[in-house]
Structures are given as C-alpha cells and as structure tokens.
Amino acid sequence: MGKSYNVAVVGATGAVGIEMMETLEKRNFPVSNLKLLASARSVGKTFKFHGKDIAVEELTPESFKGVDIALFSAGGSISKEYAKYCVDAGAVMIDNSSAFRMDPDVPLVVPEVNGEDVFKHKGIIANPNCTTAIMCVVVYPLHKAKKLKRMVASTYQAASGGGAKAMQELLDQTRAVLEGKEPEVKVMAQQIAFNLFPHIDVFQENGYTKEEMKMVNETRKIMHLPDVQISCTCVRVPVLRAHSESLNLEFENPITPAEAREILEKSPGVEVMDDVANKVYPMPILATRKYDVLAGRIRQDVSRTDGKGLDIFVSGDQLLKGAALNAVQIAEVLISKEQ
C-alpha cells in the first residue's frame, strides 16, 4: 500500500471545486482525509466523497494545519491571500488561479508536456489557464516532432470559464429570451444567450485581453519556448462547459495531416476525432465530461505552399482538462515518487 494524503479543496462549492472533488474520487487519488473549504456562506453544505458526507468548512488562516496538498480554485485574490498560510503549514498548493502562474519560482504544469517541472516547486505549483492547457496537450506532441514556430488561435469558450454563476447566467438569459423577457446581464461582460463576444478578462494596453495574453505567455513557459510566436483571439460563446479552439500552426519542418494524425493518436490526453465524411469532428457536447481533448478537422493550411502549416480544431472540457483534472494530475505527479 502506498502513502495517502490529507487533501484540501479551496473553493469546494465552485464549478471547478466540485469537479476537483469528483476527479479525486474517480481517479482514486490516495486521500486519507478530505477538507472542503469555501466562504462562510457555504458552511452547512455537505458533499459526498467515496460515500461519506463531508461538511464544508469556512476558509481561515488556520485551515491548512495537517494538510499535505491543497487544491485552490476560489479566485486569484483568495490564492494570493492564503498562499502564505498554506505553504507555512507545510502543504503544497496547487493553484488554479492566475495569481502565481508567471512567477519564475512557481512551476506552471501540464503533466503531458512538462510534468518534470512539478519537482522544482517551492510550495506552490500553478495550473494553467484552461484554454492554454487544452491547446498544449494537442500542440506539444506536434511541436516535439516538427518544431512549432508560430500559432494563431481563435477560441470558442464556454460559460463555465466564468464559474458556476456564469453557467447559471447562460441558462437564465436563455430562458428569459425564450419567454420574451429582457435578459439580465450580471456576471458576464455582455449578454451571452443567443450571442457571443470577443471579451474575456480585461483589455490590456496592446489591445489584447488578459486571457489572450495568458495563452501567449503561459504557452511559452509550459513548452519552454520563450520565443514562439503566438497570437490569439478569445471569444465567449453560449456553450455550457467545454471550450473549443481553431488553431493555425506553423512548424519549422513540413508536416502532413496524416503525420499529425499518427502523432496525435499516440499522444496521451488526446483523442483524434477526424472523419469528416461521417460528420465526425470535435464539438463541445462531445468533449463534455471527457478527460481527453478532442482533435479533428486536421488539414494542410492552403494559404502556404511549403507544407509547414496545419489547421486543427480542438474541444476540451474546461472544467476537467482545463482545470480540475489537470490539477489532480499535477498532484498525481507530485506523489508519484512516494507511491
């Protein structure tokens, strides 16, 4: 029998927190004790874990006593405020927020890409932005074979990226529109029902949003490619929980769609779904609740004649590979040498 661990989930009542709990259970992570932490508002709620009811506790500076691993998904300001208490108590923090991702002392990890970086941690390990994690799983194996030079990405991001409240807002607005009522915009930047908008996170001085620049900077860090050229447009679409991305990739070396399919078929975390004659290609409804990222519509970029360009469409569950699953996979790597 391997060792087991005291695990805490911070933000346990949130869209990602709930998936973290379920993923720990489904993947049989060796948990000796699970602590569920949220705000005072959630005290009194309980969740089932391996058949046992666990009560939600209020997050306080003392919450981390005896905890070995803490999975955080309660937003950047909570991560920044509680990191010190977590690390001082001796727990390793796996943080889903953007608070520490670009900190040079904090590894930023997609286990299929740079799992070894986990072992460089000094108490905190960051989980990447959801769109970045989903893309990296597909692009990294192609990069390993053909060397990525440039990528242009357009995203189709689900409401789940904005948390449980944003998912509810999509449902409420859709119902309101269907009932002929004025949809209420509360947590998202614009009306999302029967609409889409190119505005996720805040605008930067260079005209990109913060979400778009996360894709640029986090990809460079995860893939250890500080100079790779990336441009991205992030769009929120009226989908509940899986993100899709259209990727235009340029490599140093020529690559054919058949080669790309062969590489991706052997790549962990990827499922090739590419049979257009039978209408088979990635879609958010197919990616929902799946661990693997779906890749399809793989084709040669017709705008170039050198055979070095590919277009790919991907869909991945934002709450799983884009968040909870990746965090639990990081924890699995972390304990792998002790099992």
Nearer to ligand A2P, 239 or 264 (CB): 239
Site for ligand A2P in 6-25 (CB under 6 A): 11-15, 17
**Cβ 64 vs Cβ 70: under 8 Å:** yes
Bridge partners of 238?
Answer: none
Nearer to ligand A2P, 86 or 294 (CB): 86
By CB under 6 A, the count of residues binding ligand A2P is 17
Using CA atoms, how far apart are residues 142 and 113, in angstroms rounded to an integer?
Answer: 11
Q: Which residue has the tokens 């900077």?
A: 217
Nearer to ligand A2P, 27 or 165 (CB): 165
Nearer to ligand A2P, 48 or 165 (CB): 165
Interface pick for ligand A2P out of 141, 163, 296, 316 (rule CB under 6 A): 163
Cβ 266 to ligand A2P, closest distance in Å?
Answer: 35
Using CA atoms, how far apart are residues 18 and 12, in angstroms rounded to an integer?
Answer: 6
Site for ligand A2P in 78-117 (CB under 6 A): 78
161 part of the interface to ligand A2P, by CB under 6 A:
no
- Residue number of the CB closest to ligand A2P reads 14
Cβ 84 to ligand A2P, closest distance in Å?
Answer: 15
Site for ligand A2P in 41-70 (CB under 6 A): 41-42, 59
Using CA atoms, how far apart are residues 94 and 150, in angstroms rounded to an integer?
Answer: 30
130, 136, 232, 234: the active-site residue: 130
Interface pick for ligand A2P out of 27, 32, 33, 39 (rule CB under 6 A): 39
Active site residue 232: no
Q: How far is CA 95 from the centre of its chain?
A: 11
Active site residue 130: yes
Q: How far is CA 171 from the centre of its chain?
A: 22
Using CA atoms, how far apart are residues 129 and 153, in angstroms rounded to an integer?
Answer: 14
Cβ 202 to ligand A2P, closest distance in Å?
Answer: 17
CA-based nearest residue to 234, from 110, 98, 131: 131
Using CA atoms, how far apart are residues 224 and 308, in angstroms rounded to an integer?
Answer: 21
Write the DSSP symbol of residue 95.
Answer: E
Q: Is 152 exposed, middle or buried (0-12, 13-18, 19+ CB in 10 A)?
A: middle
Residues contributing to the site for ligand A2P (CB under 6 A): 11-15, 17, 38-39, 41-42, 59, 74-75, 78, 163-165
Active-site positions read 130, 243
